[in-house]
A and B are shown apart, each in its own frame.
Chain A
Amino acid sequence: NAGVTQTPKFRILKIGQSMTLQCAQDMNHNYMYWYRQDPGMGLKLIYYSVGAGITDKGEVPNGYNVSRSTTEDFPLRLELAAPSQTSVYFCASNPRGDEKLFFGSGTQLSVL
């Protein structure tokens, strides 16, 4: 099993550009999450999903969108990138939501 796979690992965007961060898991987990981590800070939840077709906002959803058309994939869309979205993004998953999180390796995004 590959676990949770995130792409790309690094990306530089110009202000106003858009992009999609990809996340895929091969563990058949129902719950998937997107977090962002700013330097010296903990993880802040952007969006989460409890199953295919079901998504919900987390603590910091503004400027982002998600979809969950399959159990495996949970892409995060950034529209009109802003410098405030410069961060490290982690995708995570777990089977039932009450268990440990399995994290991807992260995407370091800079918006200049």
Chain B
Amino acid sequence: QKEVEQNSGPLSVPEGAIASLNCTYSDRGSQSFFWYRQYSGKSPELIMFIYSNGDKEDGRFTAQLNKASQYVSLLIRDSQPSDSATYLCAVRPLTGGSYIPTFGRGTSLIVHP
């Protein structure tokens, strides 16, 4: 069973701070890593994806991947109340040609003014 682990939170940060969300995965052969944001009562939407070790930046968001440690993180700089949501980590393995991603349970982020 391939596992994707996230701390369910909630993670509470003040407005303007850096929010750090973490995700670990069990399948060492995993190839692609995605972060989805899900507002309450809404469907998930992709905010970041990363395939290679290192950092990938997009605006206020930075995804960090360390395949040796089987760890992927999402940093949100200058956090805003509108960032308050659940963040889902998804990991796509490469087993037998399967592309099916496995999701973690999500981390709830609360950004307070």
Residues of A within 8 A of B (CB): 31, 33, 35, 40-45, 48, 58, 90, 96-98, 100-101, 103-106
Count residues of B near A (Cβ-Cβ below 8 Å): 24
A100 to chain B: closest CB distance in Å? 4
Asked if residues A58 and B99 are in contact (CB atoms below 8 Å), the reply is no
Interfacial chain A residues near B31, Cβ < 8 Å = 98
Binds A, one of B57-65, B75-83, B100-108: B100-108
Interface residues in chain B, defined as those with a beta carbon under 8 Å from any beta carbon in chain A = 4, 6, 8, 31-32, 34, 36, 42-46, 49, 88, 90, 92, 99-106
Given A101-B44, A105-B43, A106-B43, do A43 and B103 touch, yes or no (CB 8 Å)? Answer: yes
A40 near B101 (CB under 8 angstroms)?
no
Alpha-carbon gap, A48 to B92, bound state (A): 14
